[in-house]
Amino acid sequence: MDGTKLDRRRALQQIAQTASLCAVGTLSSARGAGQPNSLGMAVEVLLGESTGTIKPALYGQFAEHLGGVIYDGIWVGPDSKVPNLGGIRRALVEHVRRLGRVVVRWPGGCFADAYHWRDGIGARAKRPRRFGRWREDTEPNQFGTHEFLRFCRLCEVEPYVAANVGTGSAEEFQHWVEYCNAPPGRTTLADERVANGDREPFGVRYWGVGNESWGCGGKFTPEDYCTQYRKFTEWLPNYGVNPYLIASGPNGNDLEWTRRFFQKWKDYARAPLNGWAAHYYCGTTGHALKFSLEQWYEMLEKANRMEQLITDQWEAMSVVDSSHRVKLVIDEWGCWHPPGTEINPRHLLEQQCCLRDALCAALTLDTFNRHADKIDMANVAQLVNNLHTLFLADGDKFVATPNFYVFEMYRPHHGAKGVRLEVSAPNVGYRVANGIRTIFRVAGSASRAGRDVTVTLVHSHASEPAALTVLLRGGSAANVRQTVLTHQTLNAQNTFDKPDEVVPRSSSTSLGGSTFVCKLQPASINRLDIRLA
Ligand code: AHR
């Protein structure tokens, strides 16, 4: 840490200690309902220090042919009694539209490297049934390219299609691009698309070249994968859509994969490359819903490692790409708990998500916001009936998890300019078997769009509220609204019977000026909507 930062931190601490508790938040909680702790807790919002535009694509989703994601989650079929739009679950579409203009990645995941796109076009009754890769489920191919693109149009999101490097060919990939993007009448593949019901080109811009090529995508060495990458991306049809090409990046923060790929990439002429896709699953502490206090903090600590991954990978990439033309893409992230909480045993890798997962999501989105200059896209795994899921669906039942509400709460950041947020708060100490560990108490991000400033904050303390001094540098608040997502129970979740257990609550406050104090509930996610005077 440099000296300037240290001085700023000391100043922040002094201010926080002397600031008076002029207002409190709006929700009361039985947990820690006592006097909030104000010692040393402050955030400074540096309105003049931009950290880059926060692209809506950072709030992306991922939908793979796996378990109950596509079949049941998205696709119920046109003859289903479940309300649908030409076979696509209506409730899901209505909710995804609330997320803004995000990106959805499809068809995998590991599934992508065994998927042949021609299986999923043409009359649905005639499509082949294939080995489904996951648990030998049969893949009926009822949901293919046209259905996915229709889903994206209905939801008003951008498609991101992952190509098959593992068992496919460069030619097959290039034909897929042509099929999707060539104008009608221009090629035989374009005519086939028209005959299959879509006259206008799909205009798919985001293309992934393989998935986890170090693992289920073929167990390549970085060098061998780079050779494949070159073949796949050479002479790709363009048709007026400048493709954004994404290479399969590291498993977590594996720096060797990144260094070796980039070394090979620069060996001779560089293949076109826009995004470098890392996957980071922060894992579990043993169970989705049953956990101790120690495991509450441990899970947050694991989610917080995204910060290190981004800075380390960015630095490794800069060795070869010093001007940073290639950006990071985090196209799989989230908690991954062991089996046991599925709502339907057919839904492989499905898990129930509670308040703790919501804090992990908020923490991760704040991390992306802070690094908006480095990341072009991120996709949580996965949209529905899966790991860090936003929705659970089973037949005609449907519910939004607390994760969904985090994504919706953070929407005002979309398209806004990230501004630097300095946090000063003492760490929380928590007991572990062999001593005490510490973790951040407050983390967050801030952005600005004209006179509107959005500050989002995660308060990790499981039982005590906090009084947080907010210092606006370069502006003064005319009014402040606070939205809070929390619950008295740390593992609270939304169920089919109780869908509104964990939902955000908003209220206006009497806060204002360039310094004010707000209350953070224990275990909470907070959004401050600040209108500048
Ligand atoms: O999201 C589930 C799986 O996790 C994906 O298919 C794969 O890419 C990752 O290992």
Q: What number does the ligand 1 atom closest to the CA of 211 have?
A: 8
256's enclosing H/E stretch is: helix 255-266
Q: What number does the ligand 1 atom closest to the CA of 62 have?
A: 1
Q: How far, in Å, is the centroid of ligand 1 from the Cα of 242? A: 27
Round to whole Å and give the CA distance between 230 and 485.
46
Q: How far, in Å, is the centroid of ligand 1 from the Cα of 382? A: 9
Predicted local confidence at residue 38, as pLDDT: 57
3 state SS of 321: coil
Round to whole Å and give the CA distance between 67 and 87.
18
Single out the catalytic residue among 44, 158, 178, 212: 212
Strands 88-89 and 42-53 turn out to be: unpaired
Q: Please choose, from the candidates 521, 414, 402, 504, the residue with its C-alpha nearest in 3D space to the C-alpha of residue 468.
A: 521
Which residue, judged by its Cα, is nearest atom 7 of ligand 1? 109
Which residue, judged by its Cα, is nearest atom 8 of ligand 1? 109
146's enclosing H/E stretch is: helix 145-155
The single-letter DSSP state of residue 307 is H
Strands 417-424 and 505-508 turn out to be: unpaired
Q: How far, in Å, is the centroid of ligand 1 from the Cα of 200? A: 32
Query: Does residue 211 line the site of ligand 1, with CB under 6 A?
Result: yes
Query: Does residue 385 line the site of ligand 1, with CB under 6 A?
Result: no
Query: Does residue 212 line the site of ligand 1, with CB under 6 A?
Result: yes
Query: Does residue 109 line the site of ligand 1, with CB under 6 A?
Result: yes
Beta pairing partners, 397: 394
Q: Where do runs of H (alpha helix) occur along 187-221?
A: 188-195
Predicted local confidence at residue 174, as pLDDT: 98
Query: Does residue 350 line the site of ligand 1, with CB under 6 A?
Result: no
Q: Please choose, from the candidates 169, 249, 168, 161, the residue with its C-alpha nearest in 3D space to the C-alpha of residue 212.
A: 249
Round to whole Å and give the CA distance between 133 and 139.
8
Which residue, judged by its Cα, is nearest atom 6 of ligand 1? 109
Q: What number does the ligand 1 atom closest to the CA of 332 have?
A: 1
pLDDT, one tens digit per residue, over 266-294 is 998 899 999 999 999 999 999 999 999 99
Which residue, judged by its Cα, is nearest atom 2 of ligand 1? 109
Q: Please choose, from the candidates 206, 189, 201, the residue with its C-alpha nearest in 3D space to the C-alpha of residue 239.
A: 201
- Which residues in the chain show pLDDT less than 50? 1-33
Predicted local confidence at residue 132, as pLDDT: 86
Q: How far, in Å, is the centroid of ligand 1 from the Cα of 281? A: 9
| Residue for token pair 């440099």 | 2
Query: Nearest 5 degrees, angle CA 103-CA 447-CA 155?
Result: 25
332 assigned to active site: yes
The answer to whether 327 and 275 are in contact (CB under 8 A) is yes
Query: Does residue 381 line the site of ligand 1, with CB under 6 A?
Result: yes
pLDDT, one tens digit per residue, over 53-89 is 999 999 999 999 999 999 999 999 999 999 999 999 9
State the SS3 of 350-419.
Answer: CCCCEHHHHHHHHHHHHHHHHCCCCEEEEEEECCECCCCCCEEEECCEEEECHHHHHHHHCHHHCCCEEE
Which of 110, 137, 209 to mutate to test ligand 1, by most ligand atoms within 8 A of the CB atom? Answer: 110
Predicted local confidence at residue 5, as pLDDT: 43
Q: Please choose, from the candidates 94, 27, 29, 32, the residue with its C-alpha nearest in 3D space to the C-alpha of residue 393.
A: 94
The answer to whether 92 and 141 are in contact (CB under 8 A) is no
Q: How far, in Å, is the centroid of ligand 1 from the Cα of 381? A: 8
Query: Does residue 332 line the site of ligand 1, with CB under 6 A?
Result: yes
| Residue for token pair 């989105």 | 365
Query: Does residue 110 line the site of ligand 1, with CB under 6 A?
Result: yes
Q: Please choose, from the candidates 402, 284, 299, 295, the residue with its C-alpha nearest in 3D space to the C-alpha of residue 339.
A: 284
3 state SS of 130: strand
Round to whole Å and give the CA distance between 526 and 519.
10
Query: Does residue 342 line the site of ligand 1, with CB under 6 A?
Result: no
Q: Please choose, from the candidates 359, 132, 110, 141, the residue with its C-alpha nearest in 3D space to the C-alpha of residue 248.
A: 110
Tally Cβ neighbours within 10 Å of residue 62. 27
Tally Cβ neighbours within 10 Å of residue 214. 21
Round to whole Å and give the CA distance between 192 and 188.
6
Predicted local confidence at residue 438, as pLDDT: 96
Query: Nearest 5 degrees, angle CA 45-CA 47-CA 49?
Result: 100
158 assigned to active site: no
Single out the catalytic residue among 44, 147, 301, 332: 332
Q: How far, in Å, is the centroid of ligand 1 from the Cα of 332? A: 7
Query: Does residue 384 line the site of ligand 1, with CB under 6 A?
Result: no
The answer to whether 121 and 173 are in contact (CB under 8 A) is no
Round to whole Å and give the CA distance between 249 and 274.
12
Query: Does residue 331 line the site of ligand 1, with CB under 6 A?
Result: no
The answer to whether 233 and 207 are in contact (CB under 8 A) is no
3 state SS of 201: coil
Predicted local confidence at residue 136, as pLDDT: 76
Q: How far, in Å, is the centroid of ligand 1 from the Cα of 28? A: 40
Return the amino acid letter for 425.
Answer: A
Round to whole Å and give the CA distance between 376 and 368.
9
Predicted local confidence at residue 37, as pLDDT: 59
3 state SS of 90: helix
Round to whole Å and give the CA distance between 237 and 186.
12
